[in-house]
Amino acid sequence: AQRVTQPEKLLSVFKGAPVELKCNYSYSGSPELFWYVQYSRQRLQLLLRHISRESIKGFTADLNKGETSFHLKKPFAQEEDSAMYYCALTPSYSGAGSYQLTFGKGTKLSVIP
Amino acid sequence: GAGVSQSPRYKVAKRGQDVALRCDPISGHVSLFWYQQALGQGPEFLTYFQNEAQLDKSGLPSDRFFAERPEGSVSTLKIQRTQQEDSAVYLCASSHKSTSGIFQETQYFGPGTRLLVL
């Protein structure tokens, strides 16, 4: 069975401080990992996916298969980063099956001015 | 263009009542997913459609839950004889093309329907 664990329910940092949102996963095969974000009163939206190796809004995430982690990082937090962040995984290939996302419980990031 | 839309946005039901939740995916999107998000939890998978075919319903919690997508576009999630534990936000997501490739397409989420069962 696949599982995503986000150990922090709430993370508060000061503006300009570094941010790291932790995500660990368990999956027997080769997963694809995502970070989704939900800003206040907005819908869930994709922030980044490990396969793209992009930096979005200053955020990066590196897949560490040895530690089964996909932590989200940003060197300098901004007030507009305050939101709910969800780590999620899906199988890289599931044949005829669905690519359903398995989500963690989420971490609420609060950036203090 | 327009994103995924869902209606109603809020629904209050009395225990035992039947409800129907609608999802309008992005035009041309082949794949459609339903998720349930309880308070303080991440979304959990309910069911998946590829066009009109329901290929995976392994996440539906009971036989009171039923989903359909008869013409491969709009989908309806129906909950019969609602219970208090059904109270949650129901999210719909769609993605561009068949998930038979190597990597999945990005799932785009709707705003959700918040269901409260009294």
- pLDDT, tens digit, 9 for 90 and up, residues B21-53: 999 999 999 999 999 999 999 999 999 999 999
Dist CA B53 CA B72 (whole Å): 8
Question: Which of B40, B55, B104 is facing A90, going by the closest CB pair?
Answer: B104
Residue A29: per-residue pLDDT: 80
Asked if B35 contacts B43 with a C-beta cutoff of 8 angstroms, the reply is: yes
First to last CA, chain B: 37
Asked if B109 contacts B6 with a C-beta cutoff of 8 angstroms, the reply is: no
Beta carbons of B35 and A101 less than 8 Å apart: yes
- Which B residues, 46 through 85, put their C-beta within 8 Å of a C-beta on chain A? 48, 50, 55-56, 59
pLDDT at B103 over 70: no
Phi, psi at residue A96, to the nearest 5°?
A: -85, 0
Write the DSSP symbol of residue A59. Answer: B
Residue B105: pLDDT band by 50, 70, 90 thresholds?
confident
Q: What is the pLDDT of residues A46-83, one digit of tens each?
A: 999 887 777 889 999 988 989 999 999 999 999 999 99
Return the percentage of chain A with pLDDT > 70, whole number.
95
Beta carbons of B91 and A94 less than 8 Å apart: no
pLDDT at A100 over 80: yes
Write the DSSP symbol of residue B97. Answer: S
Question: Nearest-CA distance from A101 to chain B in Å?
Answer: 7
Report the residue of A39, A44, A108 to disrupt the B interface, i.e. the one with the largest count of B CBs within 10 Å.
A44
B113 touches chain A (CB under 8 A): no
Phi, psi at residue A90, to the nearest 5°?
A: -145, 155
pLDDT at B100 over 80: no
Return the percentage of chain B with pLDDT > 90, whole number.
87
Task: List Cα–Cα distances, A15 to A6, A8, A75, A110, B11, in angstroms.
Answer: 22, 19, 10, 9, 38
Q: How many residues does chain A have?
A: 113
Asked if A107 contacts A85 with a C-beta cutoff of 8 angstroms, the reply is: yes
Among chain A residues, CA nearest to B49: A98
pLDDT at A7 over 90: yes
Residue B4: per-residue pLDDT: 97
Write the DSSP symbol of residue B102. Answer: S
Residue B58: per-residue pLDDT: 93
Among chain B residues, CA nearest to A5: B42
> B69: left (phi > 0), else alpha (psi -120 to 50), else beta?
beta
Asked if A85 contacts A9 with a C-beta cutoff of 8 angstroms, the reply is: no
Q: What is the pLDDT of residues B61-85, one digit of tens each?
A: 999 999 999 999 999 999 999 999 9
Write the DSSP symbol of residue A64. Answer: B
Residue A97: per-residue pLDDT: 57
pLDDT at B104 over 80: no
Residue whose entry in the numeric block shows the structure tokens 């995430």: A61
Phi, psi at residue B86, to the nearest 5°?
A: -80, -10
